[in-house]
Structure 1
Amino acid sequence: MNKVTSPHGLQTAATTVGTTDGYMPGFGNDFETEALPGALPQGMNSPQKVNYGLYGEQLSGTAFTAPSHQNERTWCYRIRPSVKHTHRFTKIDLPYWKSAPHVDPDVTSLGQYRWDPLTHSDTPQTWLTGMRTMTTAGDVNTQVGMASHIYLVTESMKDSYFYSADSEVLVVPQEGRLRFATELGVIDIEPQEIAIIPRGLVYRVEVLEGPARGFVCENYGQKFHLPGRGPIGANCMANPRDFKTPIAAFEDRDAPSTVTIKWAGQFHETKIGHSPLDVVAWHGNYAPCKYDLRTYCPVGAILFDHPDPSIFTVLTADSGVEGTANIDFVLFRDRWMVAEDTFRPPWYHKNVMSELMGNIFGIYDAKPKGFVPGGMSLHNMMLPHGPDKTAFEGASNADLKAEKLANTMSFMFETRFPQHLTAFAANEAPLQDDYIDCWSDIEKKFDGTPGKK
């Protein structure tokens, strides 16, 4: 509801933080939010004494001297400083969560692979115990590369918290709903949404609707950012306003608790006597966010030919080599197909990048059979891939009217590094052994005579 104020007499917005309850709009913005009135210092970062007896603390996501357009940090005003949220560490083992470099000598990563959806077991699984690493790439110790995981979560974390010093985490739900209760606020996500959790941010994961299954890209390198649009201009693809960052939320709760930390590919836990989610107010540009993939505005060919799949990039993370990503997150959603005299599905291809795909729901146009929701495929660097015979024949002989490709949503984690399969992906996950045969019945059409065959 709008309100009338004096003296100007104009109607003003009812809220100062956007139109989505619980969230602030924008990507990479400098936000400010407080859960208690007057908790956020004004005009300075580190007053001698903070209101409510809070402690001021900076969380830096980049080096102090990073260029200003890349510099990311957030000032937190919290009940206890973070030094109270860890104590002595004990090394633990999460055997299914792997980090690069992880090259199993008994696993062949060279090949085209596809998996059916992973199924839930009878054993309750949390965010930590239910993580299953499928591939790793690069090196967590030098902060390059990535890992891809599937999560199978049936149970909320109780008095248990986690953060990764190794990586930024991109979460892509496929079934079920999750809540990420973080130091900087609460994010709820469902299928067709994603969440980005920054490196070093403490959180716990709760199951709102289970069982929950989805995909995770663990980014060891530079942070995700929006790709440059170039001549496309200022609009379409992923628009910054559609990213939502949570408002401040905290809990002042004493209870024996465990904080698990991922550091240099190893897991450690520490015991504390309270919840670490105690940030009452904060301001800055280093924060978690969510994004609704249904707001992604695809662009494409409107006369002929099929553009490169990079046209569907949602987020990218730089590698240090201009134009070559550490990771691209690419979305294939419903869209209109209108190109004339054109083979409309993705064409046959061999690529310097390694492409790992997941199906959120529906049918992917290049693989109408076998690539099912919850499933995953991997086409490693410089390995050929493309449509199967059914897709090729259908698209080659279709009556090319304007057609809406509906009820589909798949994605790709693409990296410049080769992706190595884990033993779990090779031996325990439901690998489709006959996937390579999907191209075996493609016919030779060439007979030396001219004319379209």
Structure 2
Amino acid sequence: MSTRSDQADPRKTAESLEYLHGFGNLHSSEAVPGALPAGNSTPHRPPLGLYTERFHGASMTEPRGNSRQAWMYRIRPSAQHGPFSRIDGGTFRGLADAQTEMNRSSWNPQPDPKPGTDFVSGLWTFGGHGDPAERTGMAVHVYAANASMKDTVFSNSDGEMLITPFEGALLVRTEFGLLHVKPGDVALIPRGVRFRVELLDAMARGYVAENFGRPLVLPELGPLGSTALADPKDFRAPVAAYEDVERPVQAIVKYCGELWSSTYDHSPLDVVAWHGNHVPYVYDLHSFMTVGTLSHGHADPSVYTVLTSPTDTPGVANFDFCSVVGRWEVAMDSFRPPYYHRNIGSEFVGIVKTPPFGPTMFGEPGAGMLHNMLAPHGLWPEGDVATTNAAALEPEWIDIGLAIFYDSRLPLKLTRQALESPQRQHDFDKHWQGFERRFPRSPLQEDINAR
């Protein structure tokens, strides 16, 4: 289908979308019958006068299971553009000025953006680690926008982007087709894929994670078997939809931590047909099959992993994307909330939806909380008292709203704007003060203390 954002109603378009299903599948789609070549990906004369373009999202000689690639059949090659020039990234930062922060950190939601702020100009960077040029590490951002991107497309050569709205639905137009992304969903935009974000509501806010490492995959299930956590069939990929627009379109690219810009004389979202597996997805986080404790004890939070970016060390992730939704608590004679812990990895928490009873210790939508490597954390004193003094441990449905976690193997360094932000809570440590001593002192120790 041919689409033009200035002629179609974005909301009607979003609500009428059809999808291909299955994470990691080799999909194929054509917007015009006969546009996709049969039997040969590089025919002498591609159908309908289109141009053939190969898109590699992974090294060509990686094992077949790690391959990320796509064949595109487009109105013009994406090579038809002028030189790129560096532009000011605003509050969307690389990590050049990022600093290590050992302390537990927390931020209130960012203020409303200035009028005319779109998705790209509304990105605000907390921090991250690693080096996108070395294809390792990750970064954490939020966005706040009150305007759709117009005659502009964006792509990220540094890594994949996970977009998780908590306010306002989005219509995301990509080279592969269209995605409807609403609060409670997460969209995965692969490395290098061009896209444009159009708002379906007056305001749009959400969280964004960049994965500089190996492409995200579904975690292995091991003893859980073949059905648990995120089901591959629940991931939706777009069907082909192209723009046939011949007017100047700005292309902004994040490249090695900086933003670059060039101008096309046509829309680069002009792919009429494609096949491959380097494609965008949208996933409803409420589809996640929660796995937990059915007898006693407390399962590790790794059971909330939706997607993971593996490393060469088995079981150690460059970056895990985790989601916590409502669930039953049935553990017997056990401390049911997360126990106090110090993890070798680092954890950033974001809130998509608060529970019915209001904000929890994690804050409200738009807040951010960081526990870097080995930072002790867990319940605050009042939560500990309420839990340990519970009269009976009956089966209980816990509606905690919806929270997301970015877990990473290395400490997240914070940008200067995050360190100096007015939204940062500089007294965050106060929440873990005031725990009562419950262990009795011995008479001998009481006598020593009295002297």
> Under a length normalisation based on structure 2, what TM-score does the superposition of the two structures give?
0.92
Q: 2:171 touches 2:197 (CA, 8 Å); kept in 1?
A: yes
CA distance in 1, matches of 2:356, 2:94: 29
Which of the numbers 290, 307, 310 marks the counterpart of 2:302? 310
CA distance in 1, matches of 2:178, 2:17: 11
Q: 2:173 touches 2:179 (CA, 8 Å); kept in 1?
A: yes
Q: Which residue of 1 aligns with 2:73?
A: 77
Q: Does 1:228 align with 2:220?
A: yes
Q: Which residue of 2 aligns with 1:275?
A: 267
Aligned residue pairs: how many?
Answer: 426
Greater alpha carbon shift after TM alignment, 246-255 vs 204-213: 204-213
Deviations 1:359-417 (A, max 9, x none): 1111499x834622221100000111111011111111222100000151111101011
Give the letter aligned to residue 244 of structure 2: D
Which of the numbers 45, 49, 54 marks the counterpart of 2:41? 45
| SS across alignment from 1:166 | coil
Q: 1:114 touches 1:371 (CA, 8 Å); kept in 2?
A: no
Q: Which residue of 1 aligns with 2:136?
A: 144
| SS across alignment from 1:169 | strand
Q: 2:17 touches 2:180 (CA, 8 Å); kept in 1?
A: no
Q: Which residue of 1 aligns with 2:6?
A: none
CA distance in 1, matches of 2:116, 2:50: 38
Matches within 5 A, 1:164-243: 164-243=156-235
CA distance in 2, matches of 1:144, 1:321: 13
- Compute the RMSD of aligned alpha carbons: 1.7
Give the letter aligned to residue 168 of structure 1: E
Which of the numbers 411, 414, 418 marks the counterpart of 2:404? 411
Matches within 5 A, 1:350-361: 350-361=342-353
Q: Which residue of 1 aligns with 2:53?
A: 57
Matches within 5 A, 1:123-142: 123-142=115-134
Q: 2:348 touches 2:406 (CA, 8 Å); kept in 1?
A: yes
| SS across alignment from 2:191 | coil
Greater alpha carbon shift after TM alignment, 250-259 vs 440-449: 440-449
What's the offset of the Cα at 1:102?
A: 3.7
- Structure 1's consecutive aligned runs of 4 or more residues displaced over 4 angstroms after TM superposition are none
| SS across alignment from 2:399 | strand
Q: 2:113 touches 2:146 (CA, 8 Å); kept in 1?
A: no
CA distance in 2, matches of 1:407, 1:355: 18
CA distance in 1, matches of 2:293, 2:101: 34
What's the offset of the Cα at 1:210?
A: 2.8
CA distance in 2, matches of 1:410, 1:379: 15
CA distance in 2, matches of 1:422, 1:64: 35
Give the letter aligned to residue 425 of structure 1: A
Q: Does 1:289 align with 2:281?
A: yes
What's the offset of the Cα at 1:225?
A: 0.4
Deviations 1:49-78 (A, max 9, x none): 011100111101111101011111100000
CA distance in 2, matches of 1:429, 1:146: 24
| SS across alignment from 2:252 | strand
| SS across alignment from 1:191 | coil
| SS across alignment from 1:75 | strand
CA distance in 2, matches of 1:32, 1:122: 41
CA distance in 1, matches of 2:408, 2:214: 13
Deviations 1:225-249 (A, max 9, x none): 0000111111121000000000000
Q: 1:364 touches 1:409 (CA, 8 Å); kept in 2?
A: no
CA distance in 2, matches of 1:370, 1:243: 28
Give the letter aligned to residue 308 of structure 1: D
Q: 2:98 touches 2:416 (CA, 8 Å); kept in 1?
A: no
Q: 1:101 touches 1:138 (CA, 8 Å); kept in 2?
A: no
CA distance in 1, matches of 2:65, 2:362: 44
Matches within 5 A, 1:320-335: 320-335=312-327
In the alignment, structure 1 segments of 5+ residues that lack a partner are 1-19
Q: Does 1:438 align with 2:434?
A: no
CA distance in 1, matches of 2:374, 2:356: 22
CA distance in 1, matches of 2:235, 2:18: 13
Deviations 1:75-112 (A, max 9, x none): 0000001111x3111211113112235434xxx61101
Deviations 1:274-333 (A, max 9, x none): 111100000111100000001001011001011100011111001222111000111111
What's the offset of the Cα at 1:139?
A: 1.3
Q: 2:309 touches 2:317 (CA, 8 Å); kept in 1?
A: yes
Q: 2:51 touches 2:73 (CA, 8 Å); kept in 1?
A: yes
CA distance in 2, matches of 1:204, 1:278: 13
CA distance in 1, matches of 2:356, 2:126: 21
Greater alpha carbon shift after TM alignment, 331-340 vs 355-364: 355-364
| SS across alignment from 1:254 | coil
Sequence identity percentage: 38
